[in-house]
Structure 1
């Protein structure tokens, strides 16, 4: 059992009282008019980002989808971490002071597993480790959450698209239940998404960014979602995205990031976005509750 903070316990209790139930499947959620709340790097306002504790915290908050970032170690293992360097979220400077700039790709998995990935966030998380993608997927199968998986700077890791799909396949994450409502692969790299779509056309994909309306048809050939930065989203842009059919023949979705305050979430919900990616999924779930609440 991972450590919990006092703040997270209070927040979890609040969400339990409110009984916020997020949708399990992206497609059905959109059809029902729900806002999907994605825990950005887990519940990263309450636990160290991209760790197993962050996933567990998101699960305690009732969050059905989490977002993560995947990169590759020197010895070819996939790990869940956001930055391409280890210094911000681990104690790598203290443990390996002579190996600047501490790139993920210059360390073996065994070396990375020796790092403390929790103390920077708070003493309750001392000893937290950087998880492998396999460990992350195993935990999500325990919690039942869906995964918005980002290929982080895939140009640094040739072949990571195929390797990620192979790991997903070995973990049974490319079966119908996962493909139909628990997995989306996203990236800022259009070439990486094209490759992913070519290798596994049945995997749903999302492009991180806001391509101009004139180019949406090109993106719709290989992706199902446009996941745009919040300040670039307008009601007209949402309508334009929804007007396109994505790679799987359904209207494209639009999710937005990283939204951590209630007024912004409410505004985006009124514009018609399908999902909101946030460090504070409890707050955003409450802010969007009028749209996501179920009839009594």
Structure 2
């Protein structure tokens, strides 16, 4: 999920500052990724201790059809795969999780996300020498369930099916395997504490119509230039697109940079397609609030006031749960 310029100027009225915060869902983005390497069991456990409403798991497949928790189908951005398996890159120079068995992936060391030149994507995040490894989906599901049992909490799950069309082109039906796992743990239900998300609208429809998914679902919204899926996001980001999406999902996950009127980006007025999504009763869970990557010209407090007050969104993905939770608690006192 990307962070880029959202606003250059921040103007907010006293009326919007006084808006009360409604029920609001905090999603721990890739676990406690602002504090520990993303998607590791340790980041998941820390996120649980921070008390969000949901913890996210991005899902990709291994060569032996095991679901693992990784944001990308590639490995080199967050692991030492290039040092452990230098000969296993494809012709494009990338290392794919699908080319490795689970046992092989478990030998890799997970670290903070890096750019292609080896520099950290976020310069002031975890820089220690802890040993972190790739987690399976079932490891995260069962550990969250146990932590819920031990603490009396009911923190939910927020898995994402990554690149389903690419997986199918490689001969793997990741969506069927995800649903099989959810059914094993009695999570394919509209009342279960879980949202299932995907960028691929065709796959969302397939999950409902062909695979019979009952779980609450969220349609993620990207930009056509990002190459996230074959979906035509230009068509989806219209009032008509939102009306169509509402036939299949309970919510949408837009990028924060897309939610305002493009004709006047400093007005902070929601785009018509977002207003339509709200009118259709869809939950709005935008991505991603990051303390260390705020849009220029806006403070964390101001951005959270927009999200919870002026725009009346239903939740947010965040790398840093504590400041968001503290803001919500102050707003509801």
TM-score of the alignment, normalized to the shorter chain, above 0.5: yes
In the alignment, is the contact (CA less than 8 A) between 2:187 and 2:215 conserved in 1?
no
Match of 1:135 in 2: 139
Establish whether residue 72 from structure 1 lines up as the match of residue 61 from structure 2. yes
In the alignment, is the contact (CA less than 8 A) between 1:265 and 1:276 conserved in 2?
no
State how many pairs are aligned. 252
Which is helix-richer, 1 or 2? 1
| TM-score, normalisation: structure 1 | 0.80
Match of 1:224 in 2: 250
What is the CA distance between 1:107 and its match in structure 2?
0.7
Structure 2 gaps of 5+ residues are: 1-20, 114-125, 149-154, 222-235, 261-268, 292-299
Establish whether residue 147 from structure 1 lines up as the match of residue 157 from structure 2. yes
Whole-angstrom distance in 2 between the partners of 1:170 and 1:273: 32
Q: How does 1:175-254 map to 2 (within 5 A)?
A: 179-198=190-209, 199-209=211-221, 211-234=237-260, 235-237=269-271, 238-244=274-280, 251-254=281-284
Change (3 A) 1:288 1:239: farther
Whole-angstrom distance in 1 between the partners of 2:200 and 2:63: 22
Match of 1:277 in 2: 317
Q: How does 1:248-267 map to 2 (within 5 A)?
A: 251-261=281-291, 262=300, 263-267=302-306
Aligned residue among 108, 114, 117 for 1:115: 108
Establish whether residue 287 from structure 1 lines up as the match of residue 327 from structure 2. yes
Structure 1 gaps of 5+ residues are: 1-31, 245-250
Whole-angstrom distance in 2 between the partners of 1:285 and 1:269: 12
What is the CA distance between 1:183 and its match in structure 2?
0.8
In the alignment, is the contact (CA less than 8 A) between 2:243 and 2:276 conserved in 1?
no
| TM-score, normalisation: structure 2 | 0.71
Three-state SS of the structure 2 residue aligned to 1:44 is coil
Three-state SS of the structure 1 residue aligned to 2:202 is helix
What is the CA distance between 1:167 and its match in structure 2?
1.1
What is the CA distance between 1:181 and its match in structure 2?
4.4
Match of 1:102 in 2: 95
In the alignment, is the contact (CA less than 8 A) between 1:225 and 1:252 conserved in 2?
yes
Whole-angstrom distance in 1 between the partners of 2:99 and 2:241: 37
Whole-angstrom distance in 2 between the partners of 1:40 and 1:187: 15
Whole-angstrom distance in 2 between the partners of 1:123 and 1:77: 29
Three-state SS of the structure 2 residue aligned to 1:89 is coil
Match of 1:268 in 2: 307
What is the CA distance between 1:34 and its match in structure 2?
1.7
Cα RMSD, aligned residues only: 1.9
Three-state SS of the structure 2 residue aligned to 1:206 is strand
What is the CA distance between 1:267 and its match in structure 2?
1.3
Task: Pick 1 or 2: higher relative contact order, CA cutoff 8 A, min separation 6.
Answer: 2
In the alignment, is the contact (CA less than 8 A) between 1:260 and 1:284 conserved in 2?
no
Whole-angstrom distance in 2 between the partners of 1:201 and 1:123: 41
What is the CA distance between 1:290 and its match in structure 2?
4.1
What is the CA distance between 1:260 and its match in structure 2?
1.6
Three-state SS of the structure 2 residue aligned to 1:272 is coil
Whole-angstrom distance in 2 between the partners of 1:215 and 1:285: 32
